[in-house]
Structure 1
Amino acid sequence: MDMSCTEHRFSRRHALATGTGLVAGAFLPLAGASTSATASAHTAGWAYAASSGAYANPVIWQDFADIDVIRVGGTYYASASTMHYSPGAPVLRSHDLVNWEIAGHSVPVLDFGAKYDLNGARGYVRGVWASSLAYRPSNRTFYWLGQIDFARTYVYTATAVEGPWNRLTTISTPYYDAGLLVDSDDSLYVAYGNTTISVAQLSPDGRSQVRTQQVFTTPPSVGTLEGARFYKINGQYYIFLTRPANGQYILKSSSGPFGPYTMRQVLLDLRGPIPGGGVPHQGGLVQTQSGAWYYLAFVDAYPGGRVPSLAPVTWTPDGWPVVQLVDGAWGVSYPSPVVPAPPRQVTPMIGADTFEGTTLKPRWEWNHNPDNTKWSVGNGLTLRTATVTHDLYWARNTLTHRIQGPTSTATVQLDHSAMRDGDRAGLALLRDSSAWIGLRREGGVTRLVMVGGLTMDGNWNTTGTGTELASAPVSGTRVWLRASADIRPGAARPGVFSYSTDGTNFIRLGPAFSMGNDWRFFMGYRFALFNHATKALGGAVRVTRFELSVP
């Protein structure tokens, strides 16, 4: 895949093509719904059912895009895009569609070429795009399916979402923006494509393609359709498709998975629940145990990324879905789904991590694949320098954590006693425009610095390696670093850095960093822990505590 192809695909995905207008009767207001309840129900890192029996949108104010959502028994699972982050394709778990935790990753390592190792090339904005998650009751197995680099399709399986996930097969056809369907007779089908939508049938073991056929061509009046999700509901076959980035459509067939299909608009230019954010789109449909239906979509909300929001769905007598609205918009809140009491509380997506045990918690993802010989956990996270570079975008073993919206703060306790001359270590706000606070060791002297001006161009080549904007002396071997991020898309989007020598009193360092809100990098800003060399390998830092907190 060359960059010209990539840029063409980007312009398609987010071009706002001319629409055909709302379908008459497409939306019905939700009786009794309140837009004021639980508007701030995110202080624990997830939305929660308030005393009024309502939940707030977004249900997860973190970056989880291109959602596929399923229910297995009484548990809901969702998968999301992760591009160049490793491990890829996180699996989220919920018992009520509102409170979610990260359970694991379907793609354990991005072993799709040297660029994902930052080895001579880089994989920024490549990797795991819109993909599919499904469960096959006949063998009690979860399936993840997605294409990489327009080259081929990969299938991974696991008997539990925590893993281990193993690669089942590769298929030579790249199923772009795929949706996997396990039919009621246990057959496997994949809906995929951009504008031209096709359906493939897989072999019974899921390892190869038996047949593929074009089933629909998007009318020019609609423009682009992609992001397929494939369903069989009441004997009808449905392909749920997005019009990037402002619409959602559905195809329906009464004649089998290969059609013919008829199309209906589900939503277009619908006002979303996040001020300054985009139209909810490109998600999935799921049914509760009681028979109610919901649509879990994402909202473009940069600089934080694309965040999941939930709305109830009803169906017309002739079998078309209708999103339930509040005052003509996707609701800021809705009545909570009626589900059995959860067996336990989910693990919060915020809070402290002291890196005990032998593995990283699933809340963490590396910027590209790590060098596993250069890091360890247990009594803190040790990051040994893995790359000699002046460019953070080329540095291996940068560990990232999603930012919690609308505002949150990451605080790191760091032991820098084993740094070596030329090393750089710290806490970054990482995207295609970045800034960081941390430590520079030069000539035997370690200084605290705030650095801005780390930038990439539209082809994800580095255009700026950073400029020191402020500094302070540091003594001893421990320091606390802090980054606060306001990711409200309609606000000023500042990132503010500070430090402490006692863990209690923090001193601001440097000017506010204005986080970019362009969509083309797709992934939102992340907090990032890094340690790289500029002269020679051998140095190390130890992060003894990381805490993500909200006001």
Structure 2
Amino acid sequence: MARLNRLLPFLTLFTGTVTSVAVNTTIQSRATTFNNPVLWEDYPDIDVFRVGSVFYYSSSTFAYSPGAPVLKSYDLVNWTPVTHSVPTLNFGSQYDLTSGTPGAYVKGIWASTLRYRKSNDKFYWYGCTGGKTYIWTSSGTNAGANNGEVDASKWNWESHSPINTCYYDNSLLIDDDDKMYISYGNPNIQVAQLSADGLSQARTQQVFASSVTIEGSRMYKVNGNYYILVTRPADAEYVLKSTSGPFGPYTQRTLVSRISGPLANAGFSHQGGMVDTPDGKWYYVAFMDAYPGGRIPVVAPLRWTSDGWPEVVTDSQGRWATSYPMPVQTSKTVPGSNELDEFKSGKLSHHWEWNHNPDTSKWSLDQQGGLVLKTATVTGDLFAARNTLTRRIAGPKSRGTFRLDVSKMKDGDRAGAVLFRDRAAYIGVWKQGNDARIVLVDDLRLTQSSWTTASTGRTAATGPTVSNTQDVWFRIDADITPAFGLSTERTSSFSYSVDGGQTFVKLGSAVPMTNTWQYFTGYRFGVFNFATNGLGGEVKVKSFQMSPL
């Protein structure tokens, strides 16, 4: 969803007609039907496409780094992250968080695009930031030759000089003749033709003028016709169609408008893309505003009219259904998101993203397992601290449990587990002299105007002191059941264990979570370590596990 959404009234955009459906993060393989949402995690601004028998899905990440995650699926229902198109946010020094807040919160990677070009075996990513369109590519993946499969070692992303034009909310189309086009813009839609190598602009032209706000372009060619899907934020999707070529002229029809379902207290399904299965069926993948958890993907089949327009298949009451037949029947699966992570693989899982570009000299993976977080910033402000590592919370309710070795913390260090967003809270250890005490801190807040720190938090509760020889387990139970537009806020609870993870003790009262949309990103679990006196301390994150509640 693009920047203009922050100017639009959202309080009229809630459906509230269908009871929330719990979605497991375990694999729905070999099922005959699936439930929406297909992935109850915050992956907005969907760009979905297929290479061979593998579906790929690119998403927005704002200031989180690495950026632009790429997910993989064999059936359009079960997804797992496999890489990030933007390993380092190379958009300016503010993305390094070296000068404290405001940093680049709510800036960075918005609606961008990713496609595979078979002729040169290369993935292309384009995203507009700061008035320029940045380009990253991954070559030599062998995706075309391997029925869409890419070995993890083959994702090697390379940055190129940006194009000095903002392709706002863009979409890449690689035509049958291998020419490359990008649709973009708000409220008028442009189409640019790229150079043969895809690294510069050959020409650009306005192809559609709109009397209302439209954005979020997704461009396709189907049966000789050109289509651009655009969203009317945040409740509708239109289809622009040209029978004459990529530069139009285009005519418009409505794909969905304020369509009810499939979750209560969430926004309308909109801003997505089309994709076909290997056997020729078509699907529309959109997202719903489902705060406090973020924006989550839903899938519906498409049918085509006799004159070549796509239509969403709805249930008997005209709603986006909670359940549809599985798009693809396959025995292939992808990993879920609930596996125990002991940081033993030699690299971070692509479930993880830092709050900004990390200081790479201040973190490492131990060969025997564990993530070592050295203090990277001297500050009293968690939002200004570098190297906070986060991951999305799976809905509707999840538990995140971190195990930390805090024996090497220094005087003034603060480390622990955080429920991270523009209004945040954490449970952790404060080291003061020889005393290491467990604390709960809430009311950490960013302003919604400048995204500077409004509050560094308050100590809501204190727990026991811990010795230098014991590990500490920190647990956050988060309820991200949609509450978008409600006055009632969902809550999370915090607890700790000092007996080897056998017994957990709740600390303080439940902490409310904001339902607002302006930060765009949903709540995340995170782990941090920062200094208030001087650098030199460290903690080791020995494990993390997320499990449904």
Q: By the TM > 0.5 criterion, same fold? A: yes
Distance 1:173 1:105 in 2: 23
Distance 2:4 2:132 in 1: 15
Choose the corresponding residue for 1:373, options 354, 361, 382.
361
1:462-481 alignment to 2 at 5 Å? 462-476=453-467, 477-481=470-474
1:17-96 alignment to 2 at 5 Å? 39-44=21-26, 47-48=28-29, 50=31, 53-96=32-75
Answer yes or no: is 1:9 the counterpart of 2:4: yes
Choose the corresponding residue for 2:119, options 138, 157, 179.
138
Answer yes or no: is 1:498 the counterpart of 2:489: no
Answer yes or no: is 1:172 the counterpart of 2:167: no
Corresponding residue number in structure 2 for 1:213: 205
- Residue by residue, what CA displacement relative to the aligned partner does 1:441-471 show, whole Å, maximum 9, x if unpaired? 1122000000001001112110000100101
Choose the corresponding residue for 1:362, options 308, 328, 350.
350
Choose the corresponding residue for 1:402, options 385, 388, 392.
392
Distance 2:28 2:314 in 1: 19
Choose the corresponding residue for 1:188, options 180, 183, 186.
180
Answer yes or no: is 1:259 the counterpart of 2:262: no
1:281–1:48 CA distance, 2 compared to 1 (3 A): farther
Corresponding residue number in structure 1 for 2:276: 287
- Shift of residue 18, structure 1, vs aligned partner: 11
Corresponding residue number in structure 2 for 1:22: none
Distance 2:46 2:2 in 1: 22
Answer yes or no: is 1:203 the counterpart of 2:195: yes
What stretches of structure 2 of length at least 5 have no aligned partner?
142-149
Contact conserved, 1:383 with 1:541, CA < 8 A, in 2? yes
| One-letter amino acid of the structure 1 residue matched with residue 355 of structure 2 | N
Answer yes or no: is 1:317 the counterpart of 2:306: yes
Q: 2:267 aligns to what SS in structure 1?
A: coil
- Shift of residue 47, structure 1, vs aligned partner: 4.8
- Shift of residue 152, structure 1, vs aligned partner: 3.4
Moved more, 465-474 or 182-191: 465-474
Contact conserved, 1:85 with 1:365, CA < 8 A, in 2? yes
| One-letter amino acid of the structure 2 residue matched with residue 369 of structure 1 | N
1:419-438 alignment to 2 at 5 Å? 419-438=409-428
Counting matched residue pairs gives: 521
- Shift of residue 17, structure 1, vs aligned partner: 12
| One-letter amino acid of the structure 2 residue matched with residue 543 of structure 1 | V
Q: 1:393 aligns to what SS in structure 2?
A: helix
| One-letter amino acid of the structure 1 residue matched with residue 494 of structure 2 | F
Q: 1:138 aligns to what SS in structure 2?
A: helix
| One-letter amino acid of the structure 2 residue matched with residue 182 of structure 1 | I
- Residue by residue, what CA displacement relative to the aligned partner does 1:298-338 show, whole Å, maximum 9, x if unpaired? 11000100001110000111111100111221111111113
Corresponding residue number in structure 2 for 1:31: none
Distance 1:472 1:425 in 2: 14
What stretches of structure 1 of length at least 5 have no aligned partner?
1-5, 20-34
Corresponding residue number in structure 1 for 2:527: 529
- Shift of residue 198, structure 1, vs aligned partner: 0.3
Contact conserved, 1:399 with 1:528, CA < 8 A, in 2? yes
Corresponding residue number in structure 1 for 2:482: 489
Moved more, 122-131 or 159-168: 159-168
- Shift of residue 16, structure 1, vs aligned partner: 5.9
Distance 1:350 1:297 in 2: 24
Distance 2:462 2:68 in 1: 38
Distance 1:388 1:207 in 2: 40
Q: 2:383 aligns to what SS in structure 1?
A: helix
1:60–1:206 CA distance, 2 compared to 1 (3 A): same
| One-letter amino acid of the structure 2 residue matched with residue 275 of structure 1 | A
Distance 1:9 1:244 in 2: 8
Contact conserved, 2:489 with 2:515, CA < 8 A, in 1? no
Answer yes or no: is 1:107 the counterpart of 2:86: yes
Corresponding residue number in structure 1 for 2:147: none
- Shift of residue 7, structure 1, vs aligned partner: 11
Distance 1:256 1:324 in 2: 27
- Residue by residue, what CA displacement relative to the aligned partner does 1:348-393 show, whole Å, maximum 9, x if unpaired? 1222100013211111000000000000113201100000000000
Corresponding residue number in structure 2 for 1:352: 340
Contact conserved, 1:102 with 1:349, CA < 8 A, in 2? no
Corresponding residue number in structure 2 for 1:443: 433
| One-letter amino acid of the structure 2 residue matched with residue 538 of structure 1 | G
Q: Which contiguous aligned blocks of 4+ residues in structure 1 show a shift greater than 4 angstroms?
A: 14-19, 46-49
Corresponding residue number in structure 1 for 2:213: 224
1:284–1:7 CA distance, 2 compared to 1 (3 A): closer
Contact conserved, 1:482 with 1:499, CA < 8 A, in 2? yes
Contact conserved, 1:153 with 1:175, CA < 8 A, in 2? no
Q: CA RMSD in A?
A: 2.0
- Shift of residue 258, structure 1, vs aligned partner: 0.5
Contact conserved, 2:132 with 2:167, CA < 8 A, in 1? no
| One-letter amino acid of the structure 2 residue matched with residue 430 of structure 1 | F
Distance 2:76 2:186 in 1: 29
Distance 1:297 1:350 in 2: 24
Distance 2:66 2:466 in 1: 36
Corresponding residue number in structure 2 for 1:455: 445
Contact conserved, 2:59 with 2:69, CA < 8 A, in 1? yes
